[in-house]
Amino acid sequence: MTRNHTPKSLAVLLRARMHPDALPSSPSQLSPTPPTDPDPAAPPAASVRHWLHAAASATSPPPATLDSFSDGYRSLDRVGRREVLRSLATDYDVPRARVRDLMRQYMSVASAAAIGVDGAEAEEGKEGAAAALYRMERGLREALRPRYAGFLEAMNAQPGGLKLLAVLRADLLALLGEENAPALRALDSYLKEKLVTWLSPAALTLHQITWDDPASLLEKIVAYEAVHPIRNLIDLKRRLGVGRRCFGYFHPAIPGEPLIFIEVALHKDMAASIQEVLWDEPPTPESEASCALFYAISSTQPGLSGINLGKFLLKRVIDMLRRDMPSVQIFATLSPIPGFMQWLRAKLASQMKLAETESQEGNSLEGASSTFRESILLPDEEKMIHDAIEQAHGKQGIELLQDILKTSQWVKSEKLSAALKSPLMRLCARYLAREKIRGKALDAVANFHLQNGAVSEPSQIQF
């Protein structure tokens, strides 16, 4: 196209290129209508894929079709579910052929509009070009939406659909652990984004779980407690009784089952160990409590991994306790540190390896290896460990510490426990406060609490 085109001819050209008949039909329009029922002789996964195709190809999937998919998917074994997930991620992805066609048309129209024209009717031509581009951009946005988007949204609106989507994402996360395929990652990213929206705090109900709740709910609390297992009904009743609180977040689409729940102990002061909380007999009178200890938080749905419901649950519970119990002024967490021993053992092993390399190769690598050498133990700590070991056999302190930590027998020895208390406390403080990964605490539990408002007091940490 050249500058010799008039504004009217430019507008006619743009309208012609934007005519609906000139655009390729979307894949959903081209998909053949599947038969009413799958082949009875087909494998179970093939039948589920049939219902998936029927639901994903329809503008408004019939509830019966979604139910058939849901029932069929739940009945599949691990291999069958993964076959369906691969099909969902690849066969119902973004229709890239249509996107390419629309992009070519868009670039052609944009180039023509950029040339411009002179004359009295120039403004009319510009408005026509702008309107055409807006329509094409709207079409591009729609085309860039994956075909499984409508299926996922329809399933969420279906009774029991949200729970099915949580199961589906749990299976997807397990598959991603073995097959890090781009299509699977894209499906997980999209589904997680939708779940964050569907599970917004405004859609959730906070409920205090008590001994008077239905037995089916209490059974789920026992089954899902992931931090400190509930041993029996007496233990459960203690955790729901005087001086204790248990709160859960519920969604109306998954009735009778908390998505996440948190356990709280009311004390006069901060507890020094979990044993003080679990075996607090008799419990602190609630009228004397000034500290709320959050000692366990458990998610019941593996498919909601990465969706931070705990952050909102903590804030809601703290607000409720402040309102109902003004005497409670301290809010603290009492949590395990699951990654500390693994980190410490790896640190000791690396330092031992460097020391071995230096002794074998003399001073030739002294400059390079000394860069990575560090004093894990302070002189006083090393002496205390040597004094606690009757037969050190000339080993260094880190060698002795490495040997001691290979088992948990040292906790039964008062002498060893006293010798290890200082170095383990100091190294644990370093692990929590200084060891980072992408700017966040290396320990997952510590990162959760620090991200949700917990504070590590530098004045109480010694290095």
In degrees and rounded to multiples of 5, residue 292 shows phi and psi of -110, 115
Confidence of residue 116 (pLDDT cuts 50, 70, 90): low
- HSE (side-chain half, CA atoms, 13 Å) at 297: 21
Distance CA 249, CA 313 (A): 7
Rounded to the nearest integer, the mean pLDDT of the chain is 83
463 touches 423 (CB < 8 A): no
In degrees and rounded to multiples of 5, residue 208 shows phi and psi of -85, 120
Q: What percent of the chain has pLDDT over 90?
A: 47
80 touches 49 (CB < 8 A): no
H/E segment holding residue 128: helix 122-143
Burial string for 123-155 (b: 16+ CB within 10 Å, else e) reads eebbebbeebbeebeebeeebeebbbebbbebb
pLDDT tens digit sequence for 242-273: 999 999 999 999 999 999 999 999 999 888 78
Burial string for 335-348 (b: 16+ CB within 10 Å, else e) reads beeebbeebbeebb
- pLDDT for the residue 446: 81
- pLDDT for the residue 67: 95
Mean pLDDT of 205-220: 96
Q: Give the end-to-end CA distance of the chain in Å, rounded to a whole number.
A: 73
- pLDDT for the residue 371: 58
Which range among 40-44, 172-176, 229-233 shows the weakest confidence by mean pLDDT? Answer: 40-44
pLDDT tens digit sequence for 344-359: 999 998 888 887 777 7
Residue 130 has which token pair?
A: 């702008």
Alpha helices per DSSP H over 41-121 = 44-56, 63-75, 78-91, 96-115
Residue 411 has which token pair?
A: 């906790």
- pLDDT for the residue 10: 42
Confidence of residue 210 (pLDDT cuts 50, 70, 90): very high
Distance CA 373, CA 360 (A): 16
- pLDDT for the residue 336: 79
For residue 355, give the DSSP letter.
Answer: H
Which range among 112-126, 129-143, 385-399 shows the weakest confidence by mean pLDDT? Answer: 112-126
Neighbours of 93 (CB within 10 A): 17
Distance CA 296, CA 313 (A): 12
Residue 84 has which token pair?
A: 């369906």
294 touches 264 (CB < 8 A): yes
- Tell me the residue type at 351: Q
SS3 288: helix
Candidates 23, 34, 74; CA nearest to 56 is 34
Confidence of residue 327 (pLDDT cuts 50, 70, 90): very high
Mean pLDDT of 9-35: 42
pLDDT above 50 for 235: yes
Q: What percent of the chain has pLDDT over 70?
A: 83
Candidates 254, 282, 248, 250; CA nearest to 266 is 282
Residues annotated catalytic, as ranges: 335, 449
- Tell me the residue type at 219: E
Q: Cα–Cα–Cα angle for 346, 352, 355, nearest 5°? A: 145
- pTM for this model (two decimals): 0.75
SS3 297: strand
Neighbours of 424 (CB within 10 A): 17
For residue 224, give the DSSP letter.
Answer: H
Beta bridge partner(s), residue 264: 245, 294
Distance CA 294, CA 310 (A): 12
Q: Tell me the helix, strand and coil percentages in the chain, rounded to 5.
A: 60, 10, 35
The dihedral sign for the CA sequence 395, 401, 402, 405? positive
